[in-house]
């Protein structure tokens, strides 16, 4: 009688994601140090979304489940708030793993909202995700400033300069506000005015958000950031003040 042989287990497959992580992160992302204690999941705002949590994600990464991770929407729901690192007894950098997991998807297949906002920011030197050009931004800032100077005498000499050379602070602004909520810019202007801060916006790189970072597009992320930094350096501003 022929002997029946049963083989258990699945065929090993290479894990490009985990290999990349081991190359990029110190000590390979410290994945092997995971105690599966669940502390990361207990405080995570994204726990339970898309039937996933940080502990499950971490185990999938360690097991080389690249395809399953790439297909999951959970890495895009993570806010990278860093709570998981703070509570992890082994200090495993899960947000960095999530960031790298996002690159498993082809760029054109990443979430439309983030992708569209990143691409819009790359289209002009304001880096606005709303597509606001320098002229429109300058008009809105000037118009809102004039209104408050007239209606609130105590702020009659308040300023909102653009491209002021030698200022102490280079201020950025969420690009939604000049378009849809211009009055939301004013409270910070008032604070800076009352403390006597020497600040300025830049006609280039004034938009505060960087959707290309959340898209996990390193080159575009760098371009947006460099646009702001270059303008601040051109103006001779000492401190970059990020409102986001």
For 138, what's the count of Cα atoms within 13 Å in the CB-facing half-sphere? 11
In a domain, 6, yes or no: no
In a domain, 11, yes or no: no
Co-location of 64 and 97 in the same domain = yes
In a domain, 200, yes or no: yes
In a domain, 4, yes or no: no
What pLDDT is attached to residue 118? Answer: 97
In a domain, 2, yes or no: no
Mean pLDDT lowest among 20-29, 44-53, 191-200: 20-29
What pLDDT is attached to residue 227? Answer: 96
Tell me how far apart the 2 most distant CA atoms of the chain are, in Å.
102
Burial 33-62 (b: 16+ CB within 10 A, else e): ebeeeebbbeebebbeeeebbbbbbbebbb
Element (H, E) at 240: strand 239-241
In a domain, 171, yes or no: yes
Q: Please give the mean pLDDT across all residues of the chain.
A: 89
Co-location of 80 and 169 in the same domain = no
Task: Tell me the pLDDT band of 6, cut-offs 50, 70 and 90.
Answer: very low
Element (H, E) at 61: helix 54-62
What pLDDT is attached to residue 239? Answer: 95
Task: Tell me the pLDDT band of 8, cut-offs 50, 70 and 90.
Answer: very low
Co-location of 85 and 51 in the same domain = yes
Mean pLDDT lowest among 63-72, 103-112, 143-152: 63-72
Domain end position, chosen among 58, 84, 105: 105
What pLDDT is attached to residue 43? Answer: 87
Task: Tell me the pLDDT band of 30, cut-offs 50, 70 and 90.
Answer: low
Rounded Cα distance between 124 and 132, Å, is: 8
Whether the pLDDT of residue 93 is over 70: the answer is yes
């Amino acid at each position: 009688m022929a002997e029946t042989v049963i083989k258990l287990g699945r065929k090993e497959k290479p894990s490009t994601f985990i290999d990349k992580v081991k190359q990029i992160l110190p000590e390979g992302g410290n994945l092997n140090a995971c105690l599966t204690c669940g502390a990361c999941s207990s405080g995570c705002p994204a726990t339970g979304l898309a039937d996933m949590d940080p502990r499950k994600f971490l185990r999938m990464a360690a097991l080389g489940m690249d395809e399953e991770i790439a297909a999951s929407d959970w890495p895009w729901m993570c806010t990278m708030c860093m709570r998981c690192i703070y509570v992890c007894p082994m200090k495993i950098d899960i947000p960095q793993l999530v960031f790298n997991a996002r690159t498993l998807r082809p760029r054109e297949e990443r979430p439309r909202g983030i992708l569209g906002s990143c691409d819009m920011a790359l289209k002009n030197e304001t880096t606005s995700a709303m597509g606001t050009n320098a002229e429109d931004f300058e008009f809105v800032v000037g118009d809102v400033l004039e209104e408050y100077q007239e209606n609130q005498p105590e702020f009659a000499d308040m300023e909102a300069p653009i491209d002021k050379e030698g200022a102490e602070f280079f201020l950025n602004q969420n690009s939604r506000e000049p378009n849809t909520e211009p009055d939301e810019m004013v409270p910070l202007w008032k604070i800076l005015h009352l403390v006597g801060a020497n600040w300025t916006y830049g006609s280039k790189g004034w938009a505060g958000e960087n959707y290309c970072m959340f898209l996990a597009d390193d080159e575009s992320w760098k371009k947006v950031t460099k646009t702001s930094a270059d303008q601040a350096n051109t103006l001779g501003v000492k401190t970059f003040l990020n409102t986001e």
